[in-house]
Chains A and B, each alone.
Chain A
Amino acid sequence: METGLLFQLVLNGLIVGALYGVVAMSFVLIYKASQVVNFAQGEFMLIGAWACWWLLTYWQLPFWIGFPVALAFMTVFGVVLQVTVLRPLIGEPVISVIMATVGLSIFFQALMKWMFGVFAQPFPAIFPVERIRIMGLEVQSVYLLSIALSLMIMLGFWWFFNFSKHGLAMRATAFDQQVAQSLGISVPQVFAMSWAISAVVSAVAGVVVGVVSGVSSGLSFYGIKVFPAVILGGLDSVVGAMLGGIIVGVLENLAQYVDSQWLNWGNMTNIAPFYALIIILLIKPYGLFGTKNIERV
């Protein structure tokens, strides 16, 4: 039992899991507000990362200007997407909406490859200190930024949903659209806002991953990892999404540990979250924190 390696892997899992949690939170946000499953979450990350990279390298903007500009772009992008593609699909069966987001994901993945090429591009150096040592594990500073940002986002979400007018409006819309409309809440506005916020939050995660391992098309695969995270945590729970993401991150690294020590299959890191997903769906389909939907016939 290599406890040193195990410990480091768990730590790495926590850090990477925080990123998964951020992406999962933005996914859950859209689902909670508009009942739409967004298969294009990974592409939001990708577009945010490429946009920020482009601003930093072509326009030579410093990071503290380029990053907010990229986020502003993502806000507009999220709203435009919701208005053009999702709004006409309100009321359609869930399969249609899923397919629309799937179509978006294919479209944007190919578009990004077309616009930015197939080579992975590195981000310009952002922090003066690249790496910090935490308990024997060398961590990139940007990961610490990401943890700080995740905590800020979580707090922001908590405040937003509990204390702000728009957040309460979103929760009301998620609970019962018709009653919310009858009380004067503009449901289309709520939808648009939820997509905008989700796009921005995903872009943050995308930029973090881009800084660490370069921007490339592999970023969109994070969007697939979102599913085990939200299933574990519960589809309509923001806190659950964060925890689910962290669990998936730790699970991946534990699987890598088990694989490297005993199994030597080599692929457990990638496939373990999906096995966990199936198991959770069988025993606890609503996840750890999701609301149970009990039907009695």
Chain B
Amino acid sequence: MKKTILAAALAFSLPAMAQTRTPIGHLMDNSGPTSDVGVPYGQGVADTMAWANANNRGRPTNVLGFDYGYQAPRAVSQYQAWSRDRVAAIQGWGTVDTEALVRFVTRDRIPFVSGSYSAALTDAGGRSGRQGVEAAPYNFFYGPSYSDALRAMLLWARDDWRARGQAGAPRYAHMGANHPYPNSPKEAGETLARELGFEVLPAIQFALTPGDYTAQCLTLRSGGAHYAYLGNTAGSNISVLRACQTAGVQVQFLGNVWGMDENAMKAAGTAANGVVFPVRSLAVWGQQAPGMANVQAISRVSDAAGTAYRPVHYIAGVCAAMLMVEAMESAGENGGAMTGERIRNGFYARQNWVPRGFDGVCAPSNFTATDHRGTLAVPLYRARVTGDTATGSVAELVAAGTIRLEPVTTITLDRRADWLGW
């Protein structure tokens, strides 16, 4: 008797459930030290969720945005509020707060798609055995992890060194702030560099905020580094690039995914010329690809005129949000409830996963229950700036060819078990 009543209640409430909007949390940094890259990424996520709602992709969502200014305690406090309001999933941002929330989202079973690509978040089963890395079964991100991207760039650097015909061991230096986000790939990078035969110089520190870093550049030059990894976001990397250009430092800079984009190229000018950095999408704004039409439709959500230039971070935000949208679609199949576990399982539902309608834009992702390294193929681009970038918008400069993103190569790493989680 009870069962029939329950079944009847469920049957009646299913349409109702389908109509109710699922609350989704969205943490952004629009005002803090990483806002220069947080603004376009957050915009991409927000626009995509709105577009998905309008076009009946996934399930209807109610996105609760919160700008936490890159201060982890504010993000944690907002999370506490959200988890009590029963959000189904969260689009996150920074490394400190994402890593702080790992335990919470695991306990509360809320999938968390972060803007942080820290490798510690990929160890879903907690089996890597790395110290300080906990199981993170509910953490996902779109793109290669910082460590994998750095490994890919080091492999490229070794080939580049050989191609240049240089003798001796190349020297590598890690540069970044003393902060979890730049520190995340430091150990992995330095270890691989040693394995590849690089001479690893002591790491050089510079803050996440813009400033004068001539002293650091002089130290870099005196150390004789050939390759230097810039671990911060674009804002402070620009200061370093300009200072090092002034100081006449001849180093091949390797950026991280957040360290270089079109806005940074405009701000840094010719100092950014030649920086090699990973790009998470298969195409950049303005290139032709089957999925680019949908990206442009998404862009029109916040830019009706269609004139804005969307940097690489915007497109990455689009892909990250689409992953969550399609995971929710899988979770909601057959009238399933929109619970955290079902959404998480939705991430495992597809292989070589490119969200529908975004071919050629979003790179394929593969998530498994023990390994949340979505992609191990790292497309490397080189920033090309050939002229004065002070006047003109980014769109105009790209159209004129003063700013260019030149594809270099794509390095595909092996899915090594001993590289999981760090």
Please give the residue numbers on chain A whose beta carbons come within 8 Å of chain B beta carbons, in ascending order: 2, 4-5, 8-9, 12-13, 16, 57, 113, 118-125, 130-131, 137-140, 209, 212-214, 216-219, 221, 252-253, 256-257, 260, 264, 266-267, 269-270
Q: Please state if A218 and B222 are interface contacts (CB–CB under 8 Å).
A: no
Q: Please state if B212 and A209 are interface contacts (CB–CB under 8 Å).
A: yes
Q: Please state if A256 and B203 are interface contacts (CB–CB under 8 Å).
A: no
What residues of B have a CB within 8 angstroms of the CB of A217 in the complex?
209-210
Distance between Cα atoms of A124 and B388 in the complex (Å) = 8
Distance between Cα atoms of A135 and B238 in the complex (Å) = 26
Query: Which of B31, B216, B218, B267 is the one whose CB lies under 8 Å from A113?
Result: B31
What residues of B have a CB within 8 angstroms of the CB of A257 in the complex?
215, 219
B:359-412 near A, CB below 8 Å? 388-391
Least CB separation from B388: chain A residue: A125
Q: Please state if B214 and A16 are interface contacts (CB–CB under 8 Å).
A: yes
What residues of B have a CB within 8 angstroms of the CB of A125 in the complex?
388, 390
Query: Which of A13, A122, A139 is the one whose CB lies under 8 Å from B267?
Result: A122
Q: Please state if A216 and B235 are interface contacts (CB–CB under 8 Å).
A: yes
Least CB separation from A5: chain B residue: B222
Q: Please state if A120 and B36 are interface contacts (CB–CB under 8 Å).
A: yes
What residues of B have a CB within 8 angstroms of the CB of A124 in the complex?
388, 390-391
What residues of B have a CB within 8 angstroms of the CB of A253 in the complex?
215
Q: Please state if A218 and B210 are interface contacts (CB–CB under 8 Å).
A: yes
Distance between Cα atoms of A272 and B156 in the complex (Å) = 38
Q: Please state if B211 and A221 are interface contacts (CB–CB under 8 Å).
A: yes
- Asked if B247 CB lies within 8 Å of chain A CBs, one says yes
Distance between Cα atoms of A216 and B267 in the complex (Å) = 10
CB distance from A49 to the nearest CB of B (A): 12
- Asked if B39 CB lies within 8 Å of chain A CBs, one says yes
Distance between Cα atoms of A269 and B211 in the complex (Å) = 12
B:32-90 near A, CB below 8 Å? 35-36, 39
Least CB separation from B240: chain A residue: A213
Q: Please state if A212 and B246 are interface contacts (CB–CB under 8 Å).
A: yes
Distance between Cα atoms of A264 and B178 in the complex (Å) = 12
Given contacts A119-B36, A266-B204, A267-B178, whether A218 and B209 have CB atoms under 8 Å apart is: yes
- Asked if B335 CB lies within 8 Å of chain A CBs, one says no
Q: Please state if A214 and B202 are interface contacts (CB–CB under 8 Å).
A: no
Least CB separation from A60: chain B residue: B391
Distance between Cα atoms of A213 and B31 in the complex (Å) = 20
Query: Which of B35, B178, B211 is the one whose CB lies under 8 Å from A218?
Result: B211
B:99-135 near A, CB below 8 Å? none
Q: Please state if A256 and B238 are interface contacts (CB–CB under 8 Å).
A: no
What residues of B have a CB within 8 angstroms of the CB of A113 in the complex?
31
Distance between Cα atoms of A264 and B173 in the complex (Å) = 13
B31, B209, B214, B242: most-surrounded residue (chain A CB, <10 A): B214
Q: Please state if A120 and B238 are interface contacts (CB–CB under 8 Å).
A: yes
Q: Please state if B247 and A213 are interface contacts (CB–CB under 8 Å).
A: no
Please give the residue numbers on chain B whose beta carbons come within 8 Å of chain A beta carbons, in ascending order: 30-31, 35-36, 39, 178, 202-205, 207, 209-212, 214-216, 218-219, 222-223, 235-236, 238-239, 242-243, 246-248, 263, 266-269, 388-391
A9, A118, A130: most-surrounded residue (chain B CB, <10 A): A118
What residues of A have a CB within 8 angstroms of the CB of B242 in the complex?
212-214
Distance between Cα atoms of A212 and B246 in the complex (Å) = 9
Distance between Cα atoms of A122 and B238 in the complex (Å) = 10
CB distance from A129 to the nearest CB of B (A): 12
Query: Which of B214, B216, B222, B263 is the one whose CB lies under 8 Å from A119?
Result: B263
Given contacts A57-B390, A124-B390, A137-B247, whether A5 and B219 have CB atoms under 8 Å apart is: yes
What residues of B have a CB within 8 angstroms of the CB of A256 in the complex?
215-216, 219
What residues of A have a CB within 8 angstroms of the CB of B202 in the complex?
260, 264
6 contacts between A and B (CB under 8 A): A120-B239, A122-B390, A124-B388, A213-B243, A256-B215, A267-B205
What residues of B have a CB within 8 angstroms of the CB of A9 in the complex?
215, 218-219
Given contacts A124-B388, A216-B235, A256-B219, whether A138 and B247 have CB atoms under 8 Å apart is: yes
Q: 18 other contacts beyond A120-B239, A213-B212, A218-B210, with CB at 8 A cut-off?
A: A4-B222, A9-B219, A16-B212, A122-B266, A122-B390, A124-B388, A124-B391, A125-B388, A137-B218, A140-B246, A214-B239, A218-B236, A252-B215, A260-B223, A266-B178, A266-B203, A269-B215, A269-B216
Distance between Cα atoms of A219 and B388 in the complex (Å) = 23
CB distance from A33 to the nearest CB of B (A): 29
CB distance from A164 to the nearest CB of B (A): 34
What residues of A have a CB within 8 angstroms of the CB of B263 in the complex?
119
Distance between Cα atoms of A217 and B235 in the complex (Å) = 10
Q: Please state if B391 and A57 are interface contacts (CB–CB under 8 Å).
A: yes
Least CB separation from A4: chain B residue: B222
Distance between Cα atoms of A267 and B239 in the complex (Å) = 17
Distance between Cα atoms of A270 and B177 in the complex (Å) = 12
Q: Please state if A118 and B35 are interface contacts (CB–CB under 8 Å).
A: yes
CB distance from B172 to the nearest CB of A (A): 16
What residues of A have a CB within 8 angstroms of the CB of B391 in the complex?
57, 124
Q: Please state if A118 and B36 are interface contacts (CB–CB under 8 Å).
A: yes
Least CB separation from B178: chain A residue: A266
Least CB separation from B30: chain A residue: A118
Distance between Cα atoms of A16 and B391 in the complex (Å) = 27
Given contacts A113-B31, A124-B390, A125-B390, whether A12 and B215 have CB atoms under 8 Å apart is: yes
Distance between Cα atoms of A220 and B252 in the complex (Å) = 31
B205, B215, B222, B390: most-surrounded residue (chain A CB, <10 A): B215
Least CB separation from A123: chain B residue: B390
Least CB separation from B175: chain A residue: A266
Distance between Cα atoms of A120 and B222 in the complex (Å) = 28
Given contacts A5-B222, A216-B235, A267-B178, whether A138 and B211 have CB atoms under 8 Å apart is: no
